[in-house]
């Protein structure tokens, strides 16, 4: 049997623990170590029960673990602020880093869109849950027409928004908006997150609203549905909630201002409604917002360690 590549996780909260569960069934990766800062966390307890080396001393404790010697990739499932500290501590270690926080130290990566182009990077940023769900759709539109403006709304259950998610709301909107432009290919991007307190908890739902140069309806529909199929290869619960909607934008419609100078062109308003159901590896099925992050991160790390050259130091 081919040796599985060894990984470490920083962060023993919901995201880190879900990562632990997903990595246990990966044919490419195995978990060697987990670091947290709460010795009583469920994540560290579960990891220890699986014979994974653990420490409650954060990244400093991770570097002292003998198990870290064999680690090739580190997943950071903490917070944007903590990631700056963790990245600095790991800088000279030679390990690749997959960053699940909105810190955005390294380039943005969305597996279905640009993973292959970033194979040599040392630190890759997973954008945000909303970004992972919606940027593939923006990129699909940009592959067949000009996207002058794209706005996404990510609605998640308030139960699935832990302390890290809530602390990173500002970073979420800024990071996602920038990635809509940089990775998605939109001229302008905007991101909104909604924490929905509904009971029973709702599944993650995402809306992509884009102003594009008018193109053939069948071409746009095909690009979107093909991208949804691609993302669902690594996030099985990712799906269209309803048919792609296209509406011509009248000459004097105020939405044209969002497209800037392109507002003088023939424009179409495209609306895509998505739903993400989690795999319930550790988190409940309604927490698709967290599940899409961990599933995408595993996909990126598997690609890095099986197809990529040595990282840029």
Annotated catalytic residues are: 129
Query: Is the separation of the CB atoms in 217 and 246 below 8 Å?
Result: yes
Query: Could you give the CA distance from residue 113 to residue 48 in angstroms, rounded to a whole number?
Result: 36
Query: Is the separation of the CB atoms in 5 and 28 below 8 Å?
Result: yes
Query: Is the separation of the CB atoms in 206 and 276 below 8 Å?
Result: yes
Rg (Cα) of the chain, in Å, rounded?
20
According to DSSP, residue 262 is labeled: G
What is residue 243's three-state secondary structure?
coil
Query: Could you give the CA distance from residue 125 to residue 106 in angstroms, rounded to a whole number?
Result: 6
Binding residues for NAD(+): 12-15, 160-168, 289
Q: How many residues does the chain have?
A: 313
Residue 208 Cα distances to 10, 73, 157, 236, angstroms:
32, 32, 18, 20
Binding residues: 12-15, 160-168, 289
Query: Is the separation of the CB atoms in 9 and 77 below 8 Å?
Result: yes
According to DSSP, residue 251 is labeled: T
What is residue 246's three-state secondary structure?
strand
According to DSSP, residue 199 is labeled: S
Query: Is the separation of the CB atoms in 207 and 271 below 8 Å?
Result: yes
Residue 131 Cα distances to 95, 148, 172, 226, angstroms:
25, 18, 9, 18
What is residue 184's three-state secondary structure?
coil
């Amino acid at each position: 049997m081919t040796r599985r590549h060894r990984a470490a996780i920083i962060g023993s909260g919901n995201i880190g623990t879900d990562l632990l569960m997903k990595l246990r069934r990966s044919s490419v990766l195995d978990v060697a170590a987990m670091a947290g800062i709460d010795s009583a966390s469920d994540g560290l307890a579960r990891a220890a029960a699986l014979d994974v080396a653990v420490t409650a001393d954060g990244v400093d404790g991770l570097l002292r673990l003998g198990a870290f010697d064999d680690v090739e990739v580190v997943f950071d499932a903490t917070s944007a602020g903590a990631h700056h500290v963790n990245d600095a501590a790991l800088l000279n270690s030679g390990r690749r880093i997959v960053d699940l926080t909105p810190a955005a130290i390294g380039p943005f990566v969305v597996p279905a869109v640009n993973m292959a182009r970033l194979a040599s990077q040392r630190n890759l940023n997973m954008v945000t849950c909303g970004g992972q769900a919606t940027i593939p759709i923006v990129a699909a539109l940009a592959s067949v027409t000009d996207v002058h403006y794209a706005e996404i709304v990510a609605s998640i259950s308030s139960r699935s928004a832990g302390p890290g998610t809530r602390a990173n709301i500002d970073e979420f909107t800024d990071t996602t908006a920038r990635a809509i432009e940089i990775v998605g290919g939109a001229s302008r991007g905007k991101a909104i997150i909604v924490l929905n307190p509904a009971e029973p908890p709702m599944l993650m739902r995402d809306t992509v609203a884009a102003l594009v140069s008018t193109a053939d309806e069948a071409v746009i529909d095909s690009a979107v549905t093909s991208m949804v199929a691609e993302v669902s290869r690594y996030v099985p619960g990712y799906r269209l909630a309803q048919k792609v909607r296209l509406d011509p934008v009248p000459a004097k419609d105020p939405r044209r201002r969002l497209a800037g100078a392109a507002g003088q062109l023939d424009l179409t308003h495209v609306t895509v409604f998505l739903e993400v159901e989690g795999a319930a590896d550790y988190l409940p099925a309604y927490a698709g917002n967290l599940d899409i992050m961990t599933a995408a991160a595993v996909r990126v790390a598997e690609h890095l360690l099986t197809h990529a050259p040595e990282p840029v130091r």
